[in-house]
Structure 1
Amino acid sequence: MNLFRHRPLGVSALVLLITAGGCSSADDSASAAVPSPGAKAAQLCRSLDKVLPSKVDGESRHDPEPASALTAGWGGPEIILRCGVTRPPKMIDPEVADGADPDAVAGGVNGVDWLMEKRDGGGNRFTTASRSAYVEVTVPESADNSSVLIDLAPAIKKAIPEGIAD
């Protein structure tokens, strides 16, 4: 399966970049910074929390601290989801893309578009694109990126409508 595929971008679509980023991996005492989205995104995130799967990539749900409807975790937690994050700097609007990275691609998995950033020390950070709220998922090197994104896609499509986040 090809995780990312090239396809034409619409006017409201975002250019997705595969870039290098940095961060360390989560452990059994994982914590996740709780985002502070606006009211509309917060409501969408609460809706997402209600429909998230109990297992992702075969791992059971085990949420990070502090407990919040805006964060979720699976596997200890090693896979961390944060809903209502700010737009990543690497995600740019095509109308202001002068000088954009020539390797920019539109990446989608089961109807959900993602920005993928490599993390120092292994693993990836994925952030939804073309949705009314940004959802960030950090995935350790040991996890199957495709499986994680496939498992999360139905919930994201159900709770976070297509559009551009504020």
Structure 2
Amino acid sequence: MPKTALPAGAAAAFVALTVLAGCSGVVRVEPPTPTGAAAAACRKLAGALPHTLDGLDRVASEPASPYVAVWGEGEIALRCGVERPAAMPATAEVSDVDGVGWFNDPQRPALYTAVNREAYVELTISPEHRPAEIQVDLAGPIKTNIPQ
């Protein structure tokens, strides 16, 4: 898959989640390619993420990556080490959920990015789930493993 700007990549990832998840039991998500401290923090986060999130079990993603986690049939997907959201202005307001600031892209209401950390963490949530509850469940592992 060619590299594109974050919003297009995020949209493509969400489409892949919804289209391919039911076909094989493995969800296709394009992994980010963080480097340095961001990559190290994301690898730590991978080991701390819950096995169940909002009633959904964690499933395999393709290609396998320590920077991607998926729950359900692609209903919830996390990508750690993404670029800063292109749609986020310098003065953007973020919602604080248990000490983690989340930017919600107004053009893509299912896309949230944790932005006040050493690595950006992107979260795609299908409409059947409540973002705030999922963000609360992820706040602890994010705060513990990804420094501000």
TM-score, normalised relative to structure 2: 0.80
- CA 68–86 in structure 1, closer or farther in 2 if over 3 Å, else same: same
Cα pair 2:52 2:71 within 8 Å, conserved? yes
2:20 matched to 1:32? no
1:41 matched to which residue of 2? 38
Greater helix proportion: 2
What SS does the corresponding residue of 2:85 show, helix, strand or coil? Answer: coil
1:136 matched to which residue of 2? 122
Residue among 84, 100, 105 paired with 1:117 = 105
Q: Which amino acid in the other structure matches residue 103 of structure 2?
A: L
Q: Distance in 1 between matches of 2:73 and 2:51?
A: 13
Q: Distance in 2 between matches of 1:113 and 1:86?
A: 15
Identity of aligned residues (%): 37
Q: Distance in 2 between matches of 1:105 and 1:45?
A: 24
2:73 matched to which residue of 1? 76
Structure 1 residue runs of 4+, over 3 Å off? 21-25
Q: Distance in 1 between matches of 2:90 and 2:132?
A: 25
Aligned residues: 131
Q: Distance in 2 between matches of 1:106 and 1:69?
A: 26
2:57 matched to 1:60? yes
Cα pair 2:32 2:80 within 8 Å, conserved? yes
Larger radius of gyration, structure 1 or 2?
1
If asked which structure has higher relative contact order (CA below 8 Å, sep 6+), I would say 1
TM-score, normalised relative to structure 1: 0.72
List gaps (5 residues or longer) in structure 2.
1-9
2:140 matched to 1:158? no
Cα RMSD between the aligned structures? 2.0
CA offset digits 1:140-160 (Å, max 9, x no partner) = 011111111111111101101
Q: Distance in 2 between matches of 1:117 and 1:93?
A: 13
CA offset digits 1:21-68 (Å, max 9, x no partner) = 955352335211111111211111000001001111111111321111
Offset of 1:119 from its aligned partner?
6.1
What SS does the corresponding residue of 1:154 show, helix, strand or coil? Answer: helix
1:92 matched to which residue of 2? 89
Q: Distance in 2 between matches of 1:157 and 1:117?
A: 21
